[in-house]
Amino acid sequence: MELSLAHPVIKAFMCGSLSGTCSTLLFQPLDLVKTRLQTLQSTVQPGSARVGMVTVLLSVVRTEKLLGLWKGVSPSFVRTIPGVGIYFSTYYSLKQHFCQDRSLGAIEAMMLGVGARTVAGVFMLPVTVIKTRFESGRYNYGSVAGALRCVCQTEGPKALFSGLMPTLIRDAPFSGIYVMFYSQTKASLPKEISTSAYAPVANFSCGVLAGVLASLITQPADVVKTHVQVSTQLRTADAIKYIYMEHGLQGFFRGAVPRSLRRTMMAAMAWTVYEQMMTRIGLKS
């Protein structure tokens, strides 16, 4: 069956891609700071000279100028524009197939979120690896295409799928938990609010609450994923052991503040923009 630009799934893809573009451009600095915090060398002891989000941010601005905060934005765009489009179009397809027009229950919402994120996460993992390396400051790639070619030539294509398990362990539960909390809190809103001009603001607030809860629950998996993708000689189990031996349990929550801010604001904005656009083109999100 041929798909035209008028097909609902294509429309969902386009709405998702646009929402992802806006949120990525705004919140890329938070992702860079999060990655730098998680990949600090082991010589920096968490207990003594505590290195925090503001310290890293000022250091990046001082050494790499203000635009240094957007380092890695190219692979972020390459990943996010199609990635968020794939996520929302998959979510829309699954919802139409399994739930149609009825309201989602908590478990149904979680499963839809997990399924959509798994599809998008596997498909976009190679670009995610490159994005993480750009942000770490340890690699001097000139472009996304050049980075992909360099990794394939020096480390083999397998390296582009490093961190697959911790990525899915992080992203699939995050999406499932987020969609569950978001759909349930939004459904609990009074009808006067959900149908008023303030609906986007109310939906955004529901997204913020859902994002904070989902981010904190999945933070340890994000730290492990970052270490595996930056140092490809580490396996997932090795990375867990390394983080614990070097930094203790608190090491699994390094970068929690910038990640929570970024993931929460990005998800809330993406869902708000997506739903408003879907409504404008006459589709139920």
C-alpha pair distances (Å), 117 with each of 28, 89, 110, 121, 191? 20, 11, 11, 6, 30
Angle 229-232-237 (CA atoms, 0-180°, nearest 5)? 85
Q: What pLDDT sits at residue 46?
A: 43
Q: What pLDDT sits at residue 6?
A: 56
- Average pLDDT rounded to a whole number, residues 205-216: 91
Stretch among 169-178, 203-212, 248-257 having the lowest mean pLDDT: 248-257
- Average pLDDT rounded to a whole number, residues 258-281: 85
Q: What pLDDT sits at residue 182?
A: 93
116-155 pLDDT, tens digit per residue, is: 999 999 999 998 888 888 877 778 787 888 888 988 998 8
Q: What pLDDT sits at residue 71?
A: 84
**Closest C-alpha among 173, 143, 159 to residue 78:** 143
Provide the CATH number for the domain formed by 8-280 in this structure. 1.50.40.10
Q: Does the pLDDT at position 24 exceed 70?
A: yes
pLDDT band at 51 (very low <50, low <70, confident <90, very high): low
Q: What pLDDT sits at residue 49?
A: 43
Task: Map out the domains of the chain as residue ranges.
Answer: 8-280
- Average pLDDT rounded to a whole number, residues 219-230: 85
Q: Cα(179)–Cα(52) distance, rounded to whole angstroms?
A: 30
Q: What pLDDT sits at residue 180?
A: 94
Main-chain phi, psi angles of 169, to 5 degrees = -65, -30
Q: Does the pLDDT at position 2 exceed 60?
A: no
CB atoms within 10 A of CB 201: 12
Which three-class secondary structure state does DSSP give residue 27? Answer: helix
pLDDT band at 198 (very low <50, low <70, confident <90, very high): confident
Q: What pLDDT sits at residue 1?
A: 42
Q: Does the pLDDT at position 23 exceed 90?
A: no
Q: What pLDDT sits at residue 162?
A: 85
